[in-house]
Amino acid sequence: MVRIILIRHGETTWNIEGRYQGQEDTPLSTRGLEQGRLLAQGLKDVPLDICISSPLQRSYQTCKFCADLHKLPVATDARLTEINHGDWEGVLAPDIAKAYPVEFEQWHTAPHLVQMPGKGGECLEDVRRRVRAAFDEYAQKYEGKTVLVAAHDAVNKAIICDLLGLGMEHFWQIKQDNTCINVLEYNKGTCTWRLVLLNSVNHMGFLFSGIEQAGL
C-alpha cells in the first residue's frame, strides 16, 4: 500500500484579497506561515518517508515546515503546479466577473467546460491529466511508503475527484482549506484508491474553517 498525505499550502495575501493566483509565485502571508507551523506540529508524530511539493513557494514553504521536523528533503514536481489561469492571474475575482461574465459564471457552475483565457491558460482536464500521471507514478514507485504531497486548491480537487471516479463537473463539491490534510491510499493488489481523510484542519484548532475564498 502507498499512503499519500495530500496538503494544500498555507494562506497567501492574494488568498485574502480574493485575487486569482494560478501559477504566479506568491508567498505565504503571516497567518499562512503560522498555519504551516501548526500543520507541521499536527503531523510531527505521523511517520513520513518522502516529501514532494509543487515548485511554487507557497506550497514548498508549507511542505518544508513538515519536512524539517522529520529531517527529510523536499523534492519538487512541476506536475503539482496550480492550474494556469491565463489572463485571470493576478486579477481580483469581481474584476474577472466584470470582464468575463459568461466564463466566470460557467467556472462556478460548469467548471469542466471552461478553458482559461490567454496564453498558457489551462482547463481542468489539463490539470487532471498531469496530476494523475504524478500520482500513478507515486503509486508504483513508493510501495510501502507514506508520502507527503503539497499542492494547491484546484490540483487537490481535481485529483481527489479523479481518484474517486468523479468527473471534473464535481470540482466545486470538494473544499480545500489552507493547510488542510487529505489522506489517500493506493492498494496495489486491487489497483484502487480510497479516500481516508478529507479537508481536515484539526491542527488549527477547529473542525472546519467556514472560510470561502474568492480567488484560487
- Residue by residue, pLDDT tens for the chain (216 residues) are 999 999 999 999 999 999 999 999 999 999 999 999 999 999 999 999 999 999 999 999 999 999 999 999 999 999 999 999 999 999 999 999 999 999 999 999 999 999 999 999 999 999 999 999 999 999 999 999 999 999 999 999 999 999 999 999 999 999 999 999 999 999 999 999 999 999 999 999 999 888 888 877
Fold of 2-85+123-204: Rossmann fold (3.40.50)
On the CB side of 118, how many CA atoms lie within 13 Å of its CA? 10
pTM (global) more than 0.85: yes
List alpha helices for 70-214, DSSP H: 93-99, 101-109, 124-141, 153-163
Report the SS3 class of residue 148. strand
Cα–Cα distance measured from residue 7 to residue 34, given in angstroms and rounded to the nearest whole number: 15
Cα–Cα distance measured from residue 27 to residue 182, given in angstroms and rounded to the nearest whole number: 22
What is residue 216's predicted lDDT score, i.e. its pLDDT? 72
What is residue 209's predicted lDDT score, i.e. its pLDDT? 86
Report the SS3 class of residue 7. strand
Cα–Cα distance measured from residue 65 to residue 46, given in angstroms and rounded to the nearest whole number: 14
What is residue 145's predicted lDDT score, i.e. its pLDDT? 98
Q: What residue spans define the domains of the chain?
A: 2-85+123-204
**What's the start-to-end Cα distance of the chain, in Å?**
32
What CA–CA distances, in Å, run from 36 to 29, 123, 143? Answer: 10, 29, 27
What is residue 208's predicted lDDT score, i.e. its pLDDT? 86
Of 144, 170, 145, nearest in space to 159 by CA = 170
What is residue 13's predicted lDDT score, i.e. its pLDDT? 94
What is residue 148's predicted lDDT score, i.e. its pLDDT? 99
Could you confirm whether 108 is annotated as catalytic? no
Catalytic residue, candidates 112, 152, 170, 203: 152
Instruction: Kindly state the helix (H) or strand (E) to which residue 16 belongs, with its residue range.
Output: helix 13-17
The answer for 140, left when phi > 0, alpha when psi is -120 to 50, beta otherwise, is alpha
Could you confirm whether 152 is annotated as catalytic? yes
Catalytic residue, candidates 9, 108, 112, 170: 9
Cα–Cα distance measured from residue 17 to residue 13, given in angstroms and rounded to the nearest whole number: 6
What is residue 154's predicted lDDT score, i.e. its pLDDT? 98
Amino acid (one-letter) located at 81: T
What is residue 187's predicted lDDT score, i.e. its pLDDT? 97
